[in-house]
Amino acid sequence: MAEAYIVEAVRTAGGRRGGRLAGWHPADMAGAVLDAIVERSGIDPAAIDDVVMGCVGQGGEQGFQIGRGAVLASKLPESVPAVTIDRQCGSSQQAIQFAAQAVMSGTQDVVIAAGVESMTRVPMGATVALFAQAGLGGPKSPRQEERYPGVQFSQFMGAEMIARKYGFTREDHDRYALASHQRAAAAAERGDFDREIVPLAIEMPEGSELHTRDEGIRADATLESIGAVKLLAQGGTITAANASQICDGASGVLVVSEAALKVHNLTPLARIHNLTVTAGDPVVMLEEPLFATDRALKRAGMAIGDIDLFEVNEAFAPVPLAWLRHTGADPERLNVNGGAIALGHPLGASGTKLMATLVHALHARGKRYGLQTMCEGGGIANVTIIERL
């Protein structure tokens, strides 16, 4: 079978809700990422066969096919097509997999997989809430109600179900959250993110400057400060401090064929080794990465110990904790530069964001294999295994 290669992987530094990236229209933010991929890779922009853009909040400023909007806001020629996809939190990880499948099938040679989410300008859940407020209904259909009577599909409730199933306490979650901030702060200080970050110009009261550091990192976090944050539900274990941060951001990965490497004189960063997507319980919802990882490793003919670094999205602390317990993975290989609890989770942009961090972490540490997985609304999970080159 033909191979697919990652040539470039970049992201913006995350911005808090209402924070440093609030002034950026999401199409412009995504367009800046597309420009950076072209500039850093040296690819002829006219050679790009397609842009596959992940985005969850596809309304308002992220409506009218934001993938195409990003192309039109970039320096890419109008001849470059684009499509926008929604696999919830895994949208841009699925964009990578669609791009790889296109390349591996031989139908395309150069594809940018990307993602964008301005959770400031298109708030989470707005596309559902605004329709409901207008009397236009909601996503749960009568037949779904028959199959799942009285069930509310809630990621927050799913996270609490996982915590109860595995016996995790509030302190377990808080300790994990603290480690995420500590790892992210250390990585930022070492300059580990410098290669992957696309600087964005922002206007501040004191003048224009470049946004180059993830705004959510709390270098001064302590177990006491995290533990002081109130529970989101009485008797629960989840707080805003041990869950992913609402975040503005964009990211992208350039995926090409072996022929394109030669034609365009490109240097690959990694080879895509395995593509897996599975689905399971839509109520517990966030547990599926555990079982998707099992399937991906089996299909790849690998064991968990063969993987050098893992990126497991920190939607809520019990998700990576349950994943560690289920897989038996070395916790020192997991989210080595911190995760979404510290760095933010810009929904549709998180898949390519995590991939950018994973690719560059493998290079920085001289490691070979990396595995990325993400829990997704509806009980779906993607797993992508890559090999550093």
- Rounded to whole angstroms, the maximal C-alpha distance in the chain is 60
Measure the CA–CA gap between 81 and 67, rounded to whole angstroms: 9
Angle, alpha carbons 199-205-206 (nearest 5°): 75
**CB within 8 A of 220, min separation 6: which ones?**
none
DSSP for 214-280, please give it: -TT--TT--HHHHHTSPBSSTT---BGGGBPPPEEEEEEEEEE-HHHHHHTT---SEEEEEEEEEE-
Per the annotation, the verdict on 55 as an active-site residue is: no
Measure the CA–CA gap between 267 and 259, rounded to whole angstroms: 12
- How far, CA to CA in Å, does 37 sit from each of 11, 101, 126, 162, 323? 10, 20, 30, 38, 32
Measure the CA–CA gap between 350 and 377, rounded to whole angstroms: 14
Per the annotation, the verdict on 375 as an active-site residue is: yes
- Bridge partner residues of 84 (DSSP): 53
Which residue bears the tokens 């950076």? Answer: 36
Per the annotation, the verdict on 89 as an active-site residue is: yes
**Sign of the CA dihedral with 286 first, then 242, 351, and 19 last:** positive
Closest CA to 38 of 193, 266, 332: 266
Closest CA to 284 of 378, 384, 388, 174: 378
Query: Which two tokens mark 20?
Result: 């440093």
Choosing from 55, 173, 360, 375, which is the catalytic residue? Answer: 375
Choosing from 173, 273, 345, 360, which is the catalytic residue? Answer: 345
Choosing from 89, 173, 181, 360, which is the catalytic residue? Answer: 89
Query: So which residues are the catalytic ones?
Result: 89, 345, 375
